[in-house]
Amino acid sequence: MDTAAIGFPLFPCLPTELRLQIWEEALPKLRRPLYMYRLGCWGRGSVSETHIHYEFKHRRLRDLVFSTSLFFVNCETRYVVLRWMRKHGIQMMYDPETSSFRFRRSFNPQSDIILIPATEWACFIVDPWMLVQAERLGPRAVTVGVPGYTHIAIPMEICESKRFFLGDLFRRVYWSTIEKIFVVTNAQDMLEGDVIKAGQHWELDSFTGFPIFVWNSERRLFEPHHNVLYEGTWDYVLERLQEASGGMMNLSGWEEGHRLEVHSVSVIRM
């Protein structure tokens, strides 16, 4: 007998659609998961006698790892878990350390978000550039590709402490793909000391009630998104962004027609 039937004997009598919905609600939602930045994700791609090309190896980011016993309850729950796995690109793997099956999801550069802690911002900015510098005295030309992902998240602390953080970002051409920056207003909830709490996964919470700022290339400034009711309490964030964007469009990483949005958000534990 499955656990739901033990706690609620009439559970098997519920309509099938309702039972499936209940099982599905017990699984992680994975709405907008955050993947933690780590040093060393850039590596050699194509190499020839005259050229070395570096690229971002997103497989080097740590996977999100989940545990759930639903897969083993009965055929119905197994069906729900398999559907959940297909929807989110999740794989099931055996973990010899715990003698159990774990569920893993790798970073998807087309939709997922990389979170850069405040203590790692400087490393993040120069990570690929340092590889070029290490090779620059060699006989081969060195190039760096764009990372492939378009969304990053940063703590509010970076906006407050790094006066020209947007200029730092777009100074290098390889960051030209960044289209959305999520500024996390409650990043302190994720920290233990100065580092992200180990073994925890986080995702973006609802955007409702938070500001969105869109870059206006003609006016060379950020403007509140027209679909979001602006509040005076957001002036502080807007002022920080206007200052941080000074000269941004003249840098190597800014391409003509580039669209940039900055979202204030909160995060919740998955």
**Is the model's pLDDT at 105 over the cut of 90?**
yes
* Tokens (6 digits) for 54: 């570096």
pLDDT 10s digits, 108-117: 998 899 999 9
pLDDT number for residue 134: 77
**Is the model's pLDDT at 210 over the cut of 60?**
yes
**68, 157: one domain:** no
Handedness of CA 254, 256, 258, 260 (dihedral sign): positive
CA 9 to chain centre: 41
By the 10 Å C-beta count (0-12 exposed, 13-18 middle, 19+ buried), 97 is classed as exposed
- Number of domains comprising the chain: 2
- Region of 39 (left: φ > 0; alpha: ψ -120 to 50; beta: rest) is beta
Question: Residue 92's domain spans which residues?
Answer: 64-105
**189, 168: one domain:** yes
Q: Is residue 98 part of a domain?
A: yes
pLDDT number for residue 1: 44
**89, 147: one domain:** no
DSSP characters over 90-146:
EEEEEETTTTEEEEEE---TTT-EEE--GGGHHHHHHHHHHHHHHHTTSSSEEEE--
Which parts of the chain fold into alpha helices (H)?
3-7, 16-25, 75-88, 121-135, 156-161, 165-169, 235-244
Closest CA to 144 of 152, 135, 155: 135
pLDDT 10s digits, 164-188: 999 999 988 888 899 999 999 988 8
* Tokens (6 digits) for 194: 């100065």
pLDDT number for residue 149: 93
Between CA 249 and CA 254 the distance in angstroms is 5
**87, 170: one domain:** no
pTM: 0.86
* Tokens (6 digits) for 69: 């016993």
**173, 233: one domain:** yes
**243, 188: one domain:** yes
